[in-house]
Amino acid sequence: MSIRQYRPRERSRRGMTSKQTYILYSLILLSIFLQILYPLVNGGLLRFTTIAFIYVGALAMLTHALFSYGIKYLSIYFFVTFFFALAIEQIGSRSGWPFGTYQYSHTLGFQIYGVPLVVPFAWLMMAHPILVISRKITQHWVFLVGGIGLMVWDLFVDPLMVSTGRWTWKIVGPHVPLEPSIPLSNSAGWLLGGMALMAILHKLLPKERKKVGASSGAVDFFLLWTDFSGVVGNIFFFHSPGVALVGGIPFGILLFLYFFNSRIARPDQF
């Protein structure tokens, strides 16, 4: 008979090195700085800030994916998400399905057959953290929760980009409640596309984090900031309280469910 010392799986993990911590949180803080700068600038600097925030935010979340889950996760995640986003945006901008009829301007930089390169990087920025929290909220409905998460995030993004002329919509049929500049078909398209992407990622990507690497703390911080900045920015800077309400409440509910499961309901999983 042998006696084995029991250590909970979560406690057996060790955090990042000091260098990794510096790199990851420097990228996150830079992305936050660019967001704070956004309502304070205009013209060419506003255009630069818009594009830079997406690339830096995407790099931050890709770095977290690498440090937390490893190179296999990162490689599959990048390839699948980038080409899925590029494909669905190509289809959408040409056919009007599944988002509705819209057109990108040339102010978002380099384009791939009419779709700005920065757009797939926006998907890369948000799909990883949304997948992380969706897996924590539910075990069997990750695709649905993840699709809702991406759809709700877009409720913050679309009105802001439309107001600055980054893309334009042809409004046909009902619009998003309290967001008259965005057709309801766009939210339906994001829900459908988000569920499809989340189903693929959940199937292909490993669920276990590395024993030595990043925790979910960076994701927590990034998503909390996303909700906070979306609410505060739309109320105090963009004069769009309806956007703050429609985006902030459901995004906040998702975060509540995530933190509830993380800290209380299922703290020993993932």
Instruction: Say if residue 268's pLDDT is above 50.
Output: no
- Note down the domain range covering 68: 16-265
pLDDT in tens, 136-152: 999 999 999 999 999 99
The most distant pair of C-alpha atoms in the chain lies apart, rounded to whole Å, by 74
Domain assignment present for residue 166? The answer is: yes
pLDDT more than 70, % of the chain = 93
Distance, CA of 169 to CA of 70 (rounded, Å): 39
Domain assignment present for residue 60? The answer is: yes
Which residues make Cβ contacts (< 8 Å) with residue 184, sequence separation at least 6? 173, 174, 175, 176
Which residues make Cβ contacts (< 8 Å) with residue 81, sequence separation at least 6? 120, 123, 124, 127, 128, 197, 201
Distance, CA of 212 to CA of 68 (rounded, Å): 8
How many structural domains are present in the chain? 1
The pLDDT of residue 270: 42
The pLDDT of residue 265: 57
The pLDDT of residue 104: 97
Domain assignment present for residue 10? The answer is: no
Residue with token string 């998400």: 81
CA angle 109, 188, 38 (to 5 degrees): 35
Domain assignment present for residue 82? The answer is: yes
**Which residue, 10, 68, 7, is CA-closest to 210?**
68
Domain assignment present for residue 40? The answer is: yes
Q: Buried b vs exposed e over 108-126: b needs ≥16 C-beta within 10 Å?
A: beeeeeebbbbbbbbbbbb
Q: What is the rounded average pLDDT of the residues 227-256?
A: 97
pLDDT in tens, 178-229: 999 999 999 999 999 999 999 999 999 999 988 888 899 999 999 999 999 9
Domain assignment present for residue 223? The answer is: yes
Higher-confidence position of 158 and 214: 158
Global model pTM greater than 0.85: yes
Domain assignment present for residue 270? The answer is: no
pLDDT in tens, 66-121: 999 999 999 999 999 999 999 999 999 999 999 999 999 999 999 999 999 999 99
Domain assignment present for residue 51? The answer is: yes
